[in-house]
Chain A
Amino acid sequence: GQNIDQPTEMTATEGAIVQINCTYQTSGFNGLFWYQQHAGEAPTFLSYNVLDGLEEKGRFSSFLSRSKGYSYLLLKELQMKDSASYLCAVKDSNYQLIWGAGTKLIIKP
C-alpha cells in the first residue's frame, strides 16, 4: 500500500529552527509537495521537490532524498504565525497525490 509518515505534532520556540520529517512509500514518484494549513483554512503551497537536494525559499527549505524515500521541511527564524499544520504529499506514478496526515507545529514564545 501507499503510505506517508510524518510526526503528529511538534513544538518549537519562537526564533528557533525546526525540521519536520516525512517518509514515504508509494507506487512510483513524481514529486513531493509541502503545504501549510492554518486551523480552519485551506492549505497553501510551500514547496515542491522532484530532484534530490535542497530547495530554499526564504525562511523555508525543503529537502528530498528519493533513494531513502525521505523529505524534510526546515523552518528558520520561527514566528508565531508559523503555528499551523504542515502537510507532506507525494505524487505517485499515476500522478495521484497521496497525502500525509499532517504535522501540527506549535510555536511557543
Chain B
Amino acid sequence: GAVVSQHPSWVICKSGTSVKIECRSLDFQATTMFWYRQFPKQSLMLMATSNEGSKATYEQGVEKDKFLINHASLTLSTLTVTSAHPEDSSFYICSAPGLGDSGELFFGEGSRLTVL
C-alpha cells in the first residue's frame, strides 16, 4: 500500500519561532496532499490542499501567511507554521490520496506541535 511519511513526529518551540513540517509520499507520486489539524478530542479539520507546482488552496479561516505550504515536488509537501503561538499547539497531519478508485487517503504519522 501507499506510504506517507511525516517529520518531525513532535516538536516543541518557543513562541514567535517558525516550525517546518515535512510530508513525503514514499512509494508513489502525489500531485495533491492535504494538511489537517486536530485539537484534542476533536475531529480532523482540513487546513489546506497542497498542489504540486501551484499555490495551495486554503480553507476558510486558515491564514495563508501564517501556514505556508510548499509542494515543490511530486513526493514532498511542507507546512511551515510561522511566528507560532501557544494557540497553534496541535496535532498536524498530512495525507495523500491513493491511486485506487476510492481515492482513500493515506496519512502521515502526524506531527505534534507544542508552542511554549
Cβ of B61 within 8 Å of any chain A Cβ, yes or no, is: no
B residues 65-115 near A (Cβ < 8 Å) are: 91, 93, 95, 102-110, 112
Judge whether B44 and A99 touch: CB under 8 Å: yes
Contact of B43 among A42, A95, A99 (CB under 8 A): A99
Cβ of B46 within 8 Å of any chain A Cβ, yes or no, is: yes
Cβ of A48 within 8 Å of any chain B Cβ, yes or no, is: yes
Contacts of B44 on A, CB cut-off 8 Å? 43, 87, 99
Query: How many chain A residues touch B (Cβ–Cβ < 8 Å)?
Result: 18
Cβ of B42 within 8 Å of any chain A Cβ, yes or no, is: yes
Contacts of A48 on B, CB cut-off 8 Å? 102, 104
Judge whether B93 and A42 touch: CB under 8 Å: yes
Shortest A30–chain B CB gap in Å is 9
Contacts of B107 on A, CB cut-off 8 Å? 42-44
Judge whether A101 and B43 touch: CB under 8 Å: yes
Contact with B along A89-108 (1 / 0, CB 8 A): 00100010101111000000
Q: Looking at B42, B43, B107, which has the most chain A CB atoms within 10 Å of its CB?
A: B43
Judge whether B102 and A42 touch: CB under 8 Å: no
Contacts of A31 on B, CB cut-off 8 Å? 102-103
A42-B6, A48-B102, A91-B103 given; 17 more Cβ-contact pairs under 8 Å: A33-B104, A40-B110, A41-B109, A43-B44, A43-B105, A43-B107, A45-B105, A45-B106, A48-B104, A50-B102, A87-B44, A97-B105, A99-B43, A99-B44, A99-B46, A100-B43, A102-B43
A→B interface (CB under 8 Å): 31, 33, 40-45, 48, 50, 87, 91, 95, 97, 99-102
B→A interface (CB under 8 Å): 6, 42-44, 46, 91, 93, 95, 102-110, 112
Interchain residue pairs with CB less than 8 A apart (5)? A43-B105, A48-B102, A50-B102, A87-B44, A91-B103
